[in-house]
Structure 1
Amino acid sequence: MSPAPTPSRSALVVGAGVGGLTAAVALAARGWHVRLEDVRDTVDSRGAALGLWPAAWRGLEDVHVTPGLGEAHPYRAATIRSVDGRVMGHLPLGRIEKRAGAPVRLVTRPALMAELVSRARAAGVDLALGTAFGGPDRITGHDVVIGADGINSVVRGHVAGVVRPRSLGAEVWRGSCDGTVGHWGEIWGRGMFAGVTPAGTGRTNWYVPVADSAPVSSFRDLQDRLAGWPAEIRDAVARTDPPALLRHPLHDLPPLPAYSRGRLVLVGDAAHAMAPSLGQGACQAVLDALTLARLLDEDDVVPALVRYDRVQRPVGERLVRRSRRLLALQLSPRWSPVRDLALRVTAPVSPRWA
């Protein structure tokens, strides 16, 4: 048997999140030598459930990530209800499945991250944790540097200058618990809303974004604020172990002048961090990474990055803008009666990104 050919091109990926790991796996599968660096000493796999829309799922299938996601849960029915339990609308999950030929799937972030790390190691990716990005001089020895280092990206400053995250005027509480509940979907109140989704076999994921204008001070306060809300969110929150709670402020990014510069390029939250309202953050990180790998396979590096910017930046900007608007609508106490009426005649999420 002849020896395997030596990889002819080299990529440095900065950031071991969903986008960075997907880019590393996709490029390694195309014969690139890939070094993946992250400033943290361990891969951060914290998080609850996230949705993978059909296009993102198909992309992960192409790089053989999905076989390890055996607990991915098809998400086919979810309602939007008021605090008193009235159904105001339905998420268009059936339309998405009909259009794309496949359902939205829910996976836990820890499961997705574990499978991506496993695939990266199997593909020969050089995983260097506890390593800080040393600046654009690191391009020496690599054909491309991919900034996948999140909303507070260091690489972004070398691509787009100083671009600071914008506050969305809210924070989110997240958690998961054993057991399932009676209804999946979201509950929209005034100044806060809640969601409950499957999170693998026999588990439930929940999230509660809260406007800064009416903050929640503690886990006990959160439970008090949910008194009178439908039972599934109250029960899911009550069954959650407090040390497993996640709580953080919500931010997004303003539009960038470019996603690439020379042989530097951005993917995922480093390029277009967005509000969670459309459920597109992880999906777009995956699609960015896979699109980038495909274009780099088709062209020289700099022209490929120019094409990537032209293709992905309008998509990222549109999703950031629409996610921001939807979050404001979800949290608005002033416009909630109009919002609730509008929900009865239109879906808040478009199937176009399937």
Structure 2
Amino acid sequence: MATKISTALVIGGGVAGPVTAMALQQAGIEATVYEAYEGTAVGVGAALGLAPNGLAALDAIGVGDLVRQLGDPTTAIVLQSWNGKRLAEIGSPGSLEPTRLVMRSDLYRALYDEARRRGIRIEHGKRLTGVEEGEGTVTAEFADGTTATGELLVGADGIRSTVRTLIDPAAPQPRYAGLQGFGAVSTEAGLVPDTGGKMVMTFGKHAFFGLQVIGGNAVWFVNLPYPEPLTLSEAVSRGAERWLRVLAEACADDRSPAPGLIRRTDPAELLITGPMEIMPRVPHWSRGRLVLTGDAAHAPSSSSGQGASLAIESSVELARCLRDLPLPRALDRYEELRRPRVEQIIKQAERANSNKAAGPVGRVLRDALMPLGMKLMSQEKLSRPLHHRIDWAEPAA
């Protein structure tokens, strides 16, 4: 007779890993996190948005208020063209709290420390190389020669997931979205207009630029259309000085703060975030006692504004299903609850990416049609993904 599990191995110690472990612990399942890198990811990554639905999922495991202390609210997103023409403004409905802009490093540290405080073990230097399933167990094999055994192995190991390949050797790999990412935090915010708590996004002639002024600092990013699908390490190897020249040239004609901010950015302060990628549909989220969560299963590009929030939601939903249902039904139910939602948001992100990389003709059409399109689309429809809530108390069956 099938029984519910009591132990789990969580592969990956980024954002989804600690959240998964804390959610599993709350569900009565002992979880240990195994991270491939020897050190922590403190200081790694740029800013990201945590949407109301992601914050609500963190509330389900008692971490929401901790994370709210880290960031600043983004009350609306203002879209404008390269010449400064306002195309649209998208605000959060009054019934929802605003998205919070946080540095990924701060979010990582808060979740990592909270997981440790709750007694969750996080082991570093554990790069997964293989798995061995037994009768009611699964054993993880690591590159250092050690092993670990539990009743379930959760792949929270990101967009280049090893667990995904172990579940299905034919599983798709990330697809380059045609954009390279860059950003910085400038202390010279006084030299640019205060955005009033709004994120101002500019569809430039040759690049997409975003800016929000927070606490005297200008947090900005650029999505640069780039035909060559460079990896993060390849992009970094080309050097910040070279990229700043490229970005300055791409944004030179735009009537936005981009040219001035890029010109005044010290190369040491430029964050090179690498290629923007989208995961094609992953056919199999689980096999036997292996299951995926977060970016390993579904990775919308950053254009969605939902990457971290969806990863958090899936981690919490997985734990709820494992709390209430035995294997394999728990994994089937988890996928039933999550797949339609995440795949719809991924499709929306693909459309957003195509707008960012529009050519001369596409740019004219976009700027002409977007204001009308936004007027025709109700605020309720635009904000629908933000309303999603996981009721932890509700049975998953």
Per the normalisation by structure 1, the TM-score is 0.89
Give secondary structure in 2 for the equivalent of 1:301.
coil
1:169 aligns with 2:178: yes
Q: Which whole-Å CA distance do the structure 2 matches of 1:156 and 1:74 have between them? A: 35
Opposite residue 385 of structure 2, the aligned amino acid is W
Conserved? CA contact 2:205–2:254, under 8 Å: no
Partner of 1:86: 85
Aligned equivalents of 2:30, 2:370: Cα separation in 1: 49
Q: Does 1:242 align with 2:239?
A: no
**Maintained 8 Å contact 2:206/2:251:** no
Q: What displacement does 1:340 show?
A: 0.8
Q: Where does residue 74 of structure 2 map in the other structure?
A: 75
Deviation at 1:253, TM superposition (A): 1.5
For residue 354 of structure 2, give the secondary structure of its aligned residue in structure 1. Answer: helix
Is contact 1:51-1:106 (8 Å) kept? Answer: yes
Residue 137 (str. 1) matches residue 132 (str. 2):
yes
CA distance in 1, matches of 2:288, 2:316: 20
Q: Check 1:237–1:308 CA distance in 2 against 1; reply closer, same or farther (3 A cut).
A: same
Which one-letter code corresponds to 1:178 in the other structure?
T
| Counterpart Cα distance in 1 of 2:27 and 2:187 | 40
Where does residue 193 of structure 1 map in the other structure? 208
Q: CA offsets per residue over residues 200-251 of structure 1, 9 Å max, x none?
A: x333321111112499952122123322423433343344432232321222
1:205 to 194, 219, 222: 219
- Aligned residue type for 1:56: G
2: distance between equivalents of 1:306 and 1:251? 27
1:344 aligns to 2:358 (yes or no): no
Inter-CA distance 137–60: structure 2 relative to 1 (3 Å threshold): same
Deviates more, 1:208-217 or 1:148-157: 208-217
Match of 1:38 in 2: 35
Distance in 2 separating the partners of 1:265 and 1:239: 46
Contiguous gaps of at least 5 residues in structure 1: 1-7
Inter-partner Cα distance in structure 2 for 1:240 and 1:148:
34
AA paired with 2:247? Answer: L
Equivalent position SS for 1:344: helix
- In structure 2, the CA distance between the partners of 1:286 and 1:179, relative to structure 1 (3 Å rule), is farther
Deviation for aligned residue 1:32: 2.1
Instruction: Report the identity percentage.
Output: 30
8 Å contact kept, 2:206–2:250 = no
Partner Cα separation in structure 1 for residue 188 and residue 50 of structure 2: 22
Q: Does 1:254 align with 2:280?
A: yes
Q: 1:87 to 1:20 in 2, by over 3 A?
A: same
Q: Give distance in 1, aligned partners of 2:48 and 2:362.
A: 28
* Cα RMSD after superposing both structures: 2.3
Instruction: State TM-score, norm by structure 2.
Output: 0.80
Distance change >3 Å, CA 239–CA 332, structure 1 → 2: same
Conserved? CA contact 2:82–2:205, under 8 Å: no
Determine which of 150, 153, 175 is the counterpart of 2:158.
150
Does the 8 Å contact 1:258/1:313 carry over to 2? no
2:56 is the counterpart of 1:47: no
Q: State the alpha-carbon separation in 1 of the partners of residues 91 and 225 from structure 2.
A: 27
User: Contact 1:277/1:326 (CA < 8 Å) preserved in 2?
Assistant: yes
Change (3 A) 1:75 1:134: same
In the superposition, relative to structure 1, how do residues 198 and 25 fare at CA in structure 2: closer, same or farther (>3 Å)? farther
C-alpha displacement of 1:146: 0.9
Distance 1:61 1:198, change over 3 A: farther
The one-letter code of the counterpart of 1:52 is: L
Counterparts of 1:174 and 1:78, CA distance in 2: 18
- Give the distance between the partners of 1:59 and 1:149, measured in 2 at CA: 20
Deviation by residue 1:256-279 (Cα, 9 ceiling, x = unmatched): 112111221111111112221121
- The whole-number CA distance in structure 2 between the counterparts of 1:204 and 1:260 is 42
Cα distance in 2 for partners of 1:67, 1:272 equals 26
Preserved contact between residue 83 and residue 230 of structure 1 (Cα < 8 Å): yes
Q: CA deviation at 1:336?
A: 0.9
1:225 aligned partner: 250
Unaligned runs of 5+ in 2: 140-148, 230-234, 236-241, 387-397
SS of equivalent residue, structure 2 residue 348: helix
Q: Aligned to 1:113, which of 93, 98, 108? A: 108
Aligned residue in 1 for 2:333 = 307
CA offset at residue 198 of structure 1? 4.6
